[in-house]
């Protein structure tokens, strides 16, 4: 398994002529492994790609289309249930990161899916047991099993590379961020994910999302609320930035006060003009 921290910079990623596979060629008897740089390039090359409309099974064996998740940002994590250390640790870190987003985002604003790529072993029953072991019961988090024939095109579409080894699978650790239209927006790598690593792309997506059917006032309020949060590295969670809130409220009160002042001034000047008009009209009548 790999431990890749952070998102690679543009200088580390060469988009031109990316390799078709990240599996290193090997001599007879040599343990297979990934070429990390090639795996990263394949992951970055997937950004902007539309997620295919594959049908997977949820923990209860019910069919779920990936397009069912459109309309909200989606976090996608590939795992295999036969992993007894790295994948559980990665999933626990993702759970902590998602919990740290609660102030920034409500659970109704995005979804999470963990996909088991080791088929046919990662069936709905195995995925259900894995979720129970990790104590994940959030309504916006599902564990999905793709059909065996779908695994290869599905992982390729997401830019996820892996190779079987005697110890399990060698693959990069991370999460794919998909936007509300079903396009891959970002790849976030690392086995110890933090809330801010996921919060940044999710914040960008939600702030850029058009209002749609929601009222403009409700959308404006929600966006202001999101902007008034900041990541606290000590707690690993987002919290409200009360200094910014006070400054924002103070600014609104100032502009509100000025608006009321000018409105009252306009009203008083209008009232002051009415008597003179009346007197002028009366004088004209007398003449």
In a domain, 277, yes or no: no
User: What percent of the chain has a predicted confidence (pLDDT) above 70?
Assistant: 71
> Residue 66's CB: how many other CB atoms inside 10 A?
22
Q: Given this model, what pLDDT does residue 256 score?
A: 67
β-bridge pairing 174-178 and 74-79: antiparallel
Q: Given this model, what pLDDT does residue 254 score?
A: 59
In a domain, 174, yes or no: yes
In a domain, 266, yes or no: no
Plot region of 110 (φ>0 → left; ψ -120 to 50 → alpha; else → beta): beta
In a domain, 197, yes or no: yes
pLDDT band of residue 78 (cuts 50, 70, 90) is very high
pLDDT value at 178 more than 90: yes
Domain CATH number, residue 168: 3.40.30.10
In a domain, 173, yes or no: yes
The string of pLDDT tens digits covering residues 54-66 is 999 999 999 999 9
The domain of 88 spans: 10-213
Rounded-to-integer distance, Cα 131 and Cα 202, Å: 24
Contacts of 235 (CB under 8 A, 6+ apart): 100
Plot region of 33 (φ>0 → left; ψ -120 to 50 → alpha; else → beta): beta
The string of pLDDT tens digits covering residues 123-161 is 999 999 999 999 998 999 999 999 999 999 999 999 999
pLDDT band of residue 270 (cuts 50, 70, 90) is confident
In a domain, 278, yes or no: no
Based on the structure, what is the number of domains in the chain?
1
Q: Given this model, what pLDDT does residue 18 score?
A: 41
């Amino acid at each position: 398994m790999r431990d890749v921290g952070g998102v690679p910079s543009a200088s580390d990623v060469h988009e031109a002529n990316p390799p078709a596979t990240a599996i290193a060629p090997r001599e007879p008897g040599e343990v297979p492994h990934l070429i990390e740089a090639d795996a990263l390039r394949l992951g970055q090359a997937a950004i902007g790609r539309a997620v295919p409309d594959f049908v997977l099974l949820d923990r209860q064996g019910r069919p779920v289309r990936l397009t069912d998740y459109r309309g909200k940002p989606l976090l996608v994590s590939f795992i295999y249930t036969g992993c007894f250390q790295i994948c559980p640790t990665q999933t626990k870190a993702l759970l902590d990161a998602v919990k740290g987003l609660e102030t920034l985002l409500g659970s109704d604003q995005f979804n999470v899916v963990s996909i088991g790529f080791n088929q046919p072993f990662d069936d709905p029953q195995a995925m259900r047991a894995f979720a129970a072991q990790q104590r994940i019961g959030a309504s916006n988090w599902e564990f999905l099993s793709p059909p065996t024939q779908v695994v290869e095109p599905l992982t390729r579409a997401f830019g996820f590379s892996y190779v079987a080894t005697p110890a399990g699978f060698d693959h990069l650790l991370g999460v794919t961020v998909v936007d509300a239209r079903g396009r891959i927006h970002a790849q976030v790598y690392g086995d110890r994910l933090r809330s801010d690593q996921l919060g940044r792309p999710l914040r960008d997506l939600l702030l850029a999302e058009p209002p749609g059917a929601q009222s403009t006032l409700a959308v404006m309020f929600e966006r202001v609320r999101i902007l008034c949060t900041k990541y606290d590295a000590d707690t690993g969670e987002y919290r409200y930035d009360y200094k910014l809130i006070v400054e924002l409220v103070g600014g609104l009160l100032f502009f509100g006060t000025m608006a009321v002042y000018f409105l009252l001034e306009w009203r008083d000047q209008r009232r002051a003009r009415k008597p003179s008009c009346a007197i002028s009209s009366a004088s004209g009548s007398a003449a």
